Structure 1
């Protein structure tokens, strides 16, 4: 291997190093994604998912192309490497890859419209001497309409820097909100 200079771009991640710290983003990847799925002229959204959005199997709606839907989900899952703000929404939409319906596609397109509006967001890791680990977690109780399981969300900080995040449907059905929170804390 040879050193060819400062790292600027690797695996779709754009990296900018300054005296203050390191900035990581995927602005170019988002622009390519918007273009690939023909969303250049779509209106933008302020949030990746509406507050009242509740996705279920939706048996009454028309089925859509699985290959296209899975491609969109795969692209969005890769994007969560630098965008923790879409992690929950993408995870929720990913649950319906086996039999996607129009309502699921609408939710995915809303995420894309949100990304179009916020393509300039990035992760910033400032220089710091603090190596204290802080973790935060939360869970919704019976949030999945299909099988009544709860969803855990978690983030970890090393000093002031966000280093890990995730959202996952719990393996078991919680019998109370306390149990759902306990399972989330254990996973975190």
Structure 2
């Protein structure tokens, strides 16, 4: 779990395994061993933070609808960037059972919004104003709910605490922008992928071989 603070590529699988640490089975042990084999094969992957480029705050939100086989709860995923520098990421099973993909995405977007507002307040202490931050979401219905209060009657079953994202949008603290699923890097934190898609996502969030990169910089 401590390693996920610097290796977002294992965040989803570690969180999935952690759900069974009270009553683990043999299958869970095999999954943990696979994590260690992956880490052994990729020991030099890490996040690189260059200092010589400007940055703006932006975020990506995603959810994996009802993939938890035991209770059919969805997984929330979110990540926040200063330009292309990944500074924060989240993976968590939702506390409610979502009735639709839209509801699961809406809950995930609200969680991401809360993290963005916290980062905005932190950066104000350093003299940076990141109001009207862009949050990229790959679900059109979720964006409609955030933007259009007419949809309120259809969302009363969602817990009230998640509706603050609409309030943040109306105050122009955030923007919600549609992004194609293929380009939503928060996917990495919500589900498993094949090798090619996985490699594309870890490259997109800024994970690279630090040893070869640093050697190349100095050479």
- Indicate the TM-score class for this superposition, using the shorter chain for normalisation: 0.5 to 0.7
The CA deviation at 1:127 is 1.2
Higher helix share goes to which structure?
2
Counterpart selection for 2:17 from 82, 93, 97: 93
Q: Which runs of 5+ in 1 are unaligned?
A: 1-76
Matched residue of 1:85: which SS? Answer: helix
Question: How many correspondences in the alignment?
Answer: 112
Contact 1:128/1:159 (<8 A) preserved: no
Match of 1:108?
32
Match of 1:145?
69
Q: Distance in 2 between matches of 1:86 and 1:160?
A: 19
Match of 1:177?
101
Q: Structure 2 length normalisation: TM-score?
A: 0.50
The CA deviation at 1:146 is 1.1
Relative CO higher for 1 or 2, CA cutoff 8 Å, sep ≥ 6?
2
Q: Distance in 2 between matches of 1:146 and 1:130?
A: 45
Contact 1:153/1:166 (<8 A) preserved: yes
RMSD of the TM alignment (CA)? 0.9
The CA deviation at 1:129 is 4.5
Dislocated runs of 4+, deviation >4 Å: none
Deviation sequence 1:130-184 (CA, Å, 0-9, x none): 2311100111110101111000111100122100011000010000001000100
Q: Which runs of 5+ in 2 are unaligned?
A: 113-219
The CA deviation at 1:186 is 0.5
Q: Distance in 1 between matches of 2:84 and 2:98?
A: 33
Q: Structure 1 length normalisation: TM-score?
A: 0.58
**2:90 pairs with 1:166:** yes
**2:2 pairs with 1:78:** yes
Q: How does 1:110-149 map to 2 (within 5 A)?
A: 110-149=34-73
Q: Distance in 2 between matches of 1:143 and 1:183?
A: 15
